[in-house]
């Protein structure tokens, strides 16, 4: 059996797959891509993933794309230890939460990451011509438009209030989902928790915690989830130390501009 994961430690999507692979106690080879250098656009990688995004899992020569699909594939192919609840209603709740994360929170965290730190990181490492070429290569037109607008305008981008509203709705949904449970859909860690914790950890790093700091169940879940995944035998589970320092520096600078938006 051969498992190879193409990923970036900065990618929230890749982080949730690495968490699931580790929870399953599987062995895999990793190939790290530098997204800022555009390694995801290399022709060899595009043959595996035409959308030029990470992660991609290759299992015995078969490429599986999209992090949620990958995690479901891993659960189906390697069912022990189980990361799906046995109760069908809980399983449906799990899938609904994951869909919300994919449909709403993934783009929201992407916008806020661009507004707060990625735009500065890219400006520091690329010429204007290289930036235009980078955006030209983004396959998804909606994603490209969001990235360009937010790169140019930062927290003044019209996409930012939309992203913050999505995060507010997610916090309310998490509070309802927890309902006295230790984890999001049951008293066991599931694929929903694996999907959620990278995004919520990123949100915390971006200084979005005022959105949930008064919500005791969500705050307690996040602390528990970060401790849980941090205890896994996995290097850089939620990003490298250097990445965290860089995000923290830019988040500190943006905090004064961000706080009024969180209160709006």
What's the pLDDT band for 69 if we cut at 50, 70, 90? very high
Over 90: is that where the pLDDT of 125 sits?
A: no
Report pLDDT for 139.
Answer: 86
Superfamily covering domain 3-77:
Glutaredoxin (3.40.30.10)
Over 90: is that where the pLDDT of 142 sits?
A: no
CATH class of 88-263: mainly alpha
Q: What is the mean pLDDT of residues 97-113?
A: 96
From the CB of residue 197, how many other CB atoms can be counted at a distance below 10 Å? 26
Over 90: is that where the pLDDT of 146 sits?
A: no
Per residue in 82-91, pLDDT tens?
Answer: 999 999 999 9
Report pLDDT for 187.
Answer: 95
Report pLDDT for 91.
Answer: 97
Q: What is the mean pLDDT of residues 152-174?
A: 96
Report pLDDT for 34.
Answer: 94
Q: Where are the domains of the chain?
A: 3-77, 88-263
Over 90: is that where the pLDDT of 140 sits?
A: no
Sequence-separated (6 or more) residues with CB below 8 Å from residue 124: none
Per cent of the chain over pLDDT 90 is 86
Stronger pLDDT, 64 or 36, i.e. the higher one? 64
Over 80: is that where the pLDDT of 264 sits?
A: no
Q: What is the mean pLDDT of residues 187-203?
A: 98
Per residue in 224-235, pLDDT tens?
Answer: 999 999 999 999
Over 90: is that where the pLDDT of 143 sits?
A: no
Sequence-separated (6 or more) residues with CB below 8 Å from residue 235: none
Instruction: For the chain, give the mean pLDDT.
Output: 95
């Amino acid at each position: 059996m051969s498992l190879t994961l193409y990923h970036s430690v900065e990618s929230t999507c890749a982080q949730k797959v690495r968490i699931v692979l580790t929870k399953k106690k599987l062995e895999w080879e990793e190939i790290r891509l530098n997204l800022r250098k555009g390694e995801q656009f290399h022709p060899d990688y595009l043959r595996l993933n035409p959308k030029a995004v990470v992660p991609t899992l290759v299992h015995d020569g078969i490429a599986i794309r999209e992090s949620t699909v990958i995690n479901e594939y891993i659960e189906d192919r390697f069912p022990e230890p189980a990361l799906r609840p046995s109760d069908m209603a809980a399983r449906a709740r799990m899938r609904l939460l994951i869909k919300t994360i994919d449909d709403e929170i993934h783009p929201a965290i992407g916008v806020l990451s661009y507004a707060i730190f990625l735009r500065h990181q890219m400006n520091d490492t690329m010429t204007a011509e290289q930036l235009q070429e980078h955006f030209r290569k983004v396959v998804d037109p909606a994603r490209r438009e969001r990235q360009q607008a937010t790169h140019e305008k930062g927290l003044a981008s019209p996409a930012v209030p939309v992203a913050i509203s999505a995060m507010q709705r997610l916090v309310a949904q998490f509070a309802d989902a927890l309902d006295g449970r230790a984890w999001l859909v049951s008293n066991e860690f599931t694929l929903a928790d694996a999907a959620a914790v990278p995004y919520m950890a990123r949100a915390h790093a971006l200084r979005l915690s005022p959105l949930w700091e008064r919500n005791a169940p969500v705050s307690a879940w996040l602390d528990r989830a970060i401790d849980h995944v941090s205890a896994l035998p996995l290097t850089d589970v939620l990003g490298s130390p250097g990445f965290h320092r860089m995000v923290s520096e830019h988040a500190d600078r943006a905090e004064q501009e961000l706080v009024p938006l969180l209160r709006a």
